[in-house]
Structures are given as structure tokens and as C-alpha cells.
Amino acid sequence: MLKFSHIDSIEKLHQGYLSKDFTVREIIDDYLAHIAAVNPEMNAYLEIFDDIDDLVNRAEQMIASGDIHPLTGVPVAIKDNMLYKGKISSASSRMLEHHRATYNADVVDNLLTQGAIIIGRTNMDEFAMGSSTETSAFGITKNPRDMTRVPGGSSGGAAAALAMDGALISLGSDTGGSIRQPASFCGLVGLKPTYGSLSRSGLMAMASSLDIIGPLTKNVDDAERSFYALARHDENDSTSIPQSMRDAVTSRIPKKIGVPRSFLAQDGISEDVRLDFEKSLKLLEQAGYELVDIDMPLLEHALAIYYILMPAEVSSNLARFDGVRYGLRVEQDTLIDTYKESRTQGFGPEVQRRILLGTYVLSHGYYDAFYNKAMYLRGALEQAFKTLFADIDAFVTPTTPTGAFRFGEKRDNPLEMYMSDIFTVPANIAGVPALSVPSGQDSNGMPLGLHITAGYLQESVLFAIGKDFERMRDAQA
């Protein structure tokens, strides 16, 4: 157990540094000792970096000189699909098992500039394809709340590292719920920011029009601090939101929250989740929010849209891994056989499944029937969100249809596994921000989450509602 376990927020950490209650060295040594004790069983970290001492020395110098940034001296875990120059970045795949990054991701550069302590890289579903961290080529990651259950995915290692007290914040990536679902399963706060608010430069692409980096934290305040510390325009990312657009945003004071009752009436949602959600709505009312029923029929089609667009982009993005330029190469007598064997041995079953599905929907004769139709519906959903947020400040659902499930329970049923994303994918499709906040427990004692979605660049709305919900939840605990 951490000696400094009571230091559970960035604010407390910085107060301790400034009052000299402890040093960065003492904090990091405490984390490293704890990780050494629990990680062999948990498998949250794939690697603890060997240059941590240099980062600690620099952070202590910054604090001594008064040059303190929002993330100075903060122990951070990063997902294994973010480039860190000189370090292995494998996306938890045999294809990139020995790949060393040649440059830093923008978020890594930002962490280093601010004096954060990057502890190591965390396990994940291979190439971020999965909802349970069972598809990693380097073994499963266990849920610290119950080691017979999954931590969620694809950022399951990032969530487990935080939940086991192996970092103070973790960075994950979210394509369809890969930050928020594991946050819910592990009892954490998870933020999927507005698409383009954090740079994708140096993030291994899964589905480029959906991917976004975001923080997992232990409270909403830390999610807010982390987001504003890392969000910036990056000229190396063509999808990065210009600073002028960010500056032009008027932050709302949230008052009205929508509840999509018809969307919540479908099958597959556990009774535990329904009961917890109703309790969460009462807490929001007690916090002073007006709750209104909303009707968004397109939400019911979001999962189908996602599972056409995402595999199509996966098929395109992963075409570069061919055994020729970099990554695993399995030498054969002919070039075509080298391609085949390199990709067959380099990619696991779930990655192969999504490549095949994406190639199919992009093929001649099916492109219009599937991909173009999904793109049309994506545009319709984006417009529906714009209309919706003209009348309300946010809308809420559960984060997941069930609590964390047992290992193997859904591995052989891809459709049931994909249902884990039913509440989270709409925000990715529309490019708007969403936040998962711990809300309660299911009958197995596993965490559940409240999912809050706001309008474009309205992260401040999420943080305001999230903090109010935390306050009401803790007051009734």
C-alpha cells in the first residue's frame, strides 16, 4: 500500500511539494515500490521506464525555482500507443513488439515540458481494438477491484494502473469509449475530450476521425486540470482545433440536463445499471439541475454507424503494417507470402476481424450500401447534436450497460462485447466531449458510472456537472 495514499489529487500533491511535506523523490519512490509489489499480478504496466530519475531531478529543480506547472511532479502512466522517443511503443501487438519511437507524441512533449513524471507504458487491447484488455499480445490486465473481472478496454491497463495506485493520472485514448468504459469498470473518472482538442500527433491511429487522447483520474477536478494542461493547438495535427476557435467559445453555466428515456428502454441494460441511473438522476435534481426527457432516435443507430466507420478506417490505417517498412517481418519465398505471414502472425484475431470487416465495407459493390450510408447518418447525428444542445446543456446515460464482466464471459461473442460501447460511441461519432463519473455499484460490488455528454468544446459544462454530482454522491455515501 502507498505510504502517501492520502495524497489522492493533484491539488494535495502540489500543496505537499510547496509546504515541503515530502519531495518528488519520496513520492515517486513510494509509487515505484508499490508498482513492483502489485503489477506482476495485475499486469497494468508493460514497462517501467528507466529514465525516471532524470525526470524527478528536473521536477524538483522546477519546484525549487517556483516554476510549477499544472502537472509538475505528477506521476503519470501513458497508454502503449503513444510515442515516447527511444521507448518501445507496441500498441500491445506482436507486430510492433520491438518498435522504438523516433519522436514524442505531442502530449508526451507537453508532459515533459511541464515536469511530469512519466512512470511507464500501460497494457491495452491490441491496437486499441477491444473492450476488456483481453486482446493484448502480452497478457490480460486484471481489474484491481476484483481480479476475476476485466478492467475494461481498450485503455484497461491505464485504468488499472490508476485504480491500483500506480499513478496519479493516466492517459488513454478513446475511439468509441476506450477511456470512459474502463473508467466506469474501475471506479474512476474518464474524459473523452472534444475531437481535435488534444493533439493526435504521435498517437498510433486506429480510426483517425474518431481517436482522441484523454485523462483518467480519481476525481473530476484532476480531470479538469489535466485537460486544460494538455489541450492545445498542434500544427503537426491537421485535425487540431485552432486556438482562435477555442478562444471564441463561450462557457455555459449548466442548468438543464436531458434524459433520453427511449434510448434507455432497450434490452441488454442490467437492472443494477437502471436502478443506479435513477439514483443518479435524483442526485442531479438535488444539485439543482432541471431534468427533461429528450427524444433522439438516431442514438439507437450510433453503434451500427460506429461499427461500419471504425473498421473501415482500421483497414486503411493498418495497411501500412506489411512486413516491409517496419514492424514484424516473417520472411517467405515470395513477397505476397511475406505480406500474408507477417500480417497473420503480427495481428491477433480481433484485429484481423476488424480489418476484414473494414475491407468488406469499403469494397466495390458495398461501399455505397454500407460506408456512404454510415457517413450520411454520421452527419445527421452531428446535426441532431447541434440542435439538441441549443435547448439543453448536457444529456446523461449510464456509462455501460453492465458492470465489469468476468474474463472470457464475452470473448467468444463479439456482438455482445461490442454492446459495451452502446452509450459511449455517440460522442465519438459527433466529436463532442463526454465524461464518466463513478456513480455507485452493481450487485457484485463492481463500480458503475454516470455518463455526461455536452456540446462541442463545452468541457467546462462536464466539469461543472461532474463536480456537483460528486459532491451530492459523497454527501449521501
Which of 222, 220, 223, 259 shows the shortest CA–CA distance to 438?
A: 220
The H or E element that residue 417 is part of is: helix 414-418
Strands (E), 211-330: 212-217, 256-259, 290-293
The CA-atom distances, in angstroms, between 372 and each of 47, 175, 296, 305, 361 are 41, 20, 22, 10, 9
DSSP 8-state secondary structure symbol assigned to residue 196: T
Backbone phi, psi, residue 425, to 5°: -65, -30
Sheet with strand 447-454: strands edge to edge: 45-48, 117-122, 75-79, 169-174, 212-217, 189-192, 434-441, 447-454, 394-398, 256-259, 290-293
Strands (E), 310-380: none
Helix axes 220-230 and 106-113, enclosed angle (nearest 10): 100
CA dihedral 321, 324, 328, 330 (to 10 degrees): 120
Rounded-to-integer distance, Cα 331 and Cα 58, Å: 45
Q: Which residues form the catalytic set?
A: 79, 154, 178
